[in-house]
Amino acid sequence: MAASTAASKLNLFKAICGKRNFGVGQKVTRAIWDRFEESPLSTTSFIEITRVEPSADLSHGKAYGIKTFRGVSEGKARRVDGPLKKDWRIVV
């Protein structure tokens, strides 16, 4: 449990900027969205990153993606809300 708690203390840019193409194509989720899951092992709420415009120091910027919440996709890329919140993690 401690590993997942430590891993969830990242903002979106710290979580994805170490990945290839700044995380484009990665699925990310917020810890707060876990309360909406049907079972603890499922992930039906996530954002698939489509475009990232990081700052020079990679600590903030703009991120765009397709949001899927409770299994329903918006189908259109839009700017990610709350990227500087410290509860983002990559969906494996």
Residue type, 18: G
Taking only the tens place, the pLDDT of each residue in 5-56 is 555 589 999 999 889 999 999 999 999 998 888 777 677 899 999 999 999 9
> Residue 7's pLDDT is what?
55
pLDDT for residue 6? 54
Residue 92 to residue 86: CA distance in whole angstroms: 18
The pLDDT value given to residue 35: 86
Burial 28-64 (b: 16+ CB within 10 A, else e): bbbbebeeeeeeeeebebbbbbeebebeeeeeebebe
Where do the domains of the chain lie? 2-90
Question: What value, to the nearest 5°, has the Cα angle with vertex 7 and ends 1 and 31?
Answer: 80
Give the pLDDT of residue 1.
Answer: 43
2 has pLDDT over 50: no
Tell me, what's the pLDDT at 40?
72
pLDDT of residue 5: 54
Residues 45/32, Cβ–Cβ less than 8 Å: no
The first and second tokens of residue 72, run together, are 């329903």
